Amino acid sequence: MKQTRSNYGWVIVGVSFVTLAFTGGVWYSFSVFFVAVLKEFGWSRSLGAGAFSLFLILQSLAGAIVGNMIDRFGPKKVLLLGSLLLGTGLALCSTIHAWWQFYLYFGVISAAGVAATGWVPNTTMVQLWFREKRGLAIGIICAGVGVGMLVCVPAAQYLINRVGWRMTYRTMALIIPVSIALMAIFFTKKPPQSLPSDSPKWRPPVLCSVSSGPPLLDEGRASQSWTLKQALRTRPFQLLTLSIVSGTLATQAILTHQVAFFTDQGLGNLFASYVVGMIGLVSIGAKIFWGILSDKIGREITYTLGIVCGVCGMILLVLFHILPASWVPYAYAFLFGMGYSVTTTLPPIMAADFFEGRTFGGIFGTMMMFNGIGGAFGAWLAGFVYDHTETYLFVFILTMVCYLFACLNVWRAAPRRVRAVAEK
């Protein structure tokens, strides 16, 4: 019976992989809608990017609520609610004529939909089914976001060129939410153990004993039943949250403005969207690779290697800004794809190392709340800096500093003190 349950965990991974591909497509296709909407309405880049900043803030603030809803009601109802909100928000985006409408429809309604179908519910589901291969499992579902970048962003740009951005939003409003809802209905499984009929809460499956994972170095932490209040007071929570905020500030500043940057340098809109797609392609394998590697050599070393890649990608953008060369976008896509991937794959794995268990959804959702604040500020700040300097050069320098700060705090949080990795 245990083996059957464990095998079904990989079905959950598959559902989460596809769901995150769709939500990642909504998230990162903003960069191509951003250019099209600015062209039509003539807004400043900081005003246009503000809609994405609001999106990041609210979907992250909603993450704490979503995490608690998952803990209480289970994933199916939350995913269905999220798909309804997401479809409504995207459909309304096709009708905008003023900036406040863009802020409301994308920044608020679509954000709530992404929150209820994105990182928090899927990571919460998967971490409960895996312990020994947690890095691999979470790496796989994170790779789904890369598929969304690879497929949805160029597809959205192609449709924008052919039928306009309004019809493209309508198409996404139909295909994406319906697909997520169908997967939630047919494949999201209730807990394998039975519950008392009077139990008000959904209880997540626990398929492995604590001893079945990598060797414990801190038995007390791993066996503790964490509450959110307890977790908030711990040094690992605070340091890991600082790292998440800094890393996502850098990442979202670049992902939001990279299409605009490349078009400023003379590249076509469609080719710039292909660069985003290449980042997504790289991240598919990179996220799985980083997840597996972190199980073998440790979270801190793996995170550091990824940050080095991200910093090198930023150095290439600085060089491209000064002296454009045709090979730079390809090299940038590879290196930044590797760096971006580690900042999204490792945080949920490290959070699970510290705070695994039935209440993980609420704890990780709270971390994602701070994550959204960092990403929102990064997206807006990049636009603000550009509006006042007419260059992204200073944004690239700030991004490198933020990446290094994120890496420092991962080492200070020290997940290596909770569980030994396979090679040790």
Range of the domain at 312: 2-188+215-417
Q: Does residue 391 lie within any of the structural domains?
A: yes
In a domain, 28, yes or no: yes
Q: Is residue 204 part of a domain?
A: no
For residue 193, being part of any structural domain is answered with no
- Asked if residue 31 is part of any domain, the answer here is yes
Q: How far apart are CA 197 and CA 290, in angstroms?
A: 42
The predicted pLDDT at position 336 comes to 93
State how far the alpha carbon of 265 is from the alpha carbons of 252, 321, 344, in Å.
20, 7, 28
Name the one residue in this structure whose structure tokens are 């999106």: 55
What CATH number did the domain enclosing 294 receive?
A: 1.20.1250.20
pLDDT of residue 357: 66
Total structural domains within the chain: 1
Helix axes 45-73 and 75-93, enclosed angle (nearest 10): 160
CA separation for the pair 306, 47 (Å, rounded) = 32
pLDDT value at position 130? 67
Of 370, 373, 344, nearest to 64 (Cα)? Answer: 370
**Residue 295: its H or E element:** helix 269-297
Please, is 416 exposed, middle or buried when counting C-beta atoms within 10 Å of its C-beta (0-12, 13-18, 19+)? middle
In a domain, 118, yes or no: yes
> Hunting for tokens 């003379």 — which residue is that?
266
DSSP letters of 126-187? HHHH-STTHHHHHHHHHHHHHHHHHHHHHHHHHHHHHH-HHHHHHHHHHHHHHHHHHHHHHH
> Residue 351: which of 404, 399, 303 has the closest Cα?
303
Residue pLDDT tens, the chain, 424 long? 444 455 777 888 888 899 999 998 888 888 788 888 888 888 887 888 888 888 888 887 887 788 778 777 777 888 899 999 999 999 999 999 999 999 999 999 999 999 888 878 887 777 776 666 666 777 788 778 878 877 888 888 889 989 999 999 999 999 999 999 998 888 776 544 433 333 344 444 443 333 344 555 555 555 566 777 888 888 989 999 999 999 989 998 888 888 888 888 888 777 887 887 788 788 888 888 988 898 888 899 999 999 999 999 999 999 887 878 888 889 999 999 999 889 988 988 888 888 876 677 778 778 877 877 888 788 888 888 888 888 888 999 999 999 999 999 999 998 888 766 654 4
376 in any annotated domain: yes
Residue 351: inside a domain: yes
